[in-house]
Structure 1
């Protein structure tokens, strides 16, 4: 399994994968425009020249980043790909000097295995007023917020 940064040629496949999960209500949809604008955030899990999964690390503030749009193809799930992508995002955050990484998810147990702890969403004002306010589920969000903090 190879983890690499996304390229422009990956965007349509990323869009398709994320929005397959979004149609089932398992994650928020992402537009092609949003994906192109945030391409530098995305990592790709690739095997035999085929994208198996994607994940993004989005920086929100000097000390806060978000892992978003984690999606692994159904037939490739339960093989450690999602965990590998999350760990790569955490490593990247640490290298950038960001000491807190959060996620909003419907699958909190997955992230708890990696060391994330539950958090009240109200403790994430940068997220709420930056992204959440534009979400169709706002203010009735049913995702769980979790945070990972690097030991200083």
Structure 2
């Protein structure tokens, strides 16, 4: 956990309870992954996911990262920020680093999405 704690953004409610998390994991000098973006059940639709996405994309921009990707079950959410669907094979860094260790490999049911520099990075 100590190895990855810097990567995480956390959203809390007024009582200090965690209602959302997301991580920006830098994989290469120009490539990062948004990992574990999740909003607590019952807290969806209140802008928490948008705030977490904005934080991740802002961090990526500040680091000069030109490509940000995710593996997701909710590609429509990412598309609101300018991401587009791609084949997982276009992300060899992810496949060789993490996917080979996954019990679902090679039959992953997540969708790969990517935002490349020139994408808006803004929600619509």
What is the TM-score normalised by the length of structure 2? 0.91
Aligned residues: 118
Residues 22-37 of structure 1 mapped to structure 2, 5 A cutoff: 35-37=1-3
Moved over 2 A (4+): none
C-alpha contact 1:94 1:150 (8 A) present in aligned 2: no
Deviations 1:98-144 (A, max 9, x none): 11000000111111011101111100000000000111100111100
Among residues 123, 129, 139, which one is paired with 2:106 in the alignment? Answer: 139
Instruction: Structure 1: give runs of 5+ residues left out of the alignment.
Output: 1-34
In structure 1, distance between residues paired with 2:30 and 2:7: 16
In structure 2, distance between residues paired with 1:115 and 1:104: 15
**Structure 1 partner of 2:5:** 39
RMSD across aligned positions (CA)? 1.2
What is the TM-score normalised by the length of structure 1? 0.75
1:99 equivalenced with 2:60 (yes/no): no
C-alpha contact 1:68 1:103 (8 A) present in aligned 2: yes
Question: Structure 1 or 2: larger helix share?
Answer: 1
Q: CA deviation at 1:64?
A: 0.3
Deviations 1:33-58 (A, max 9, x none): xx332111100011212211000000
Q: CA deviation at 1:149?
A: 1.2
Which structure's relative contact order is higher, taking Cα pairs within 8 Å and 6+ residues apart? 2
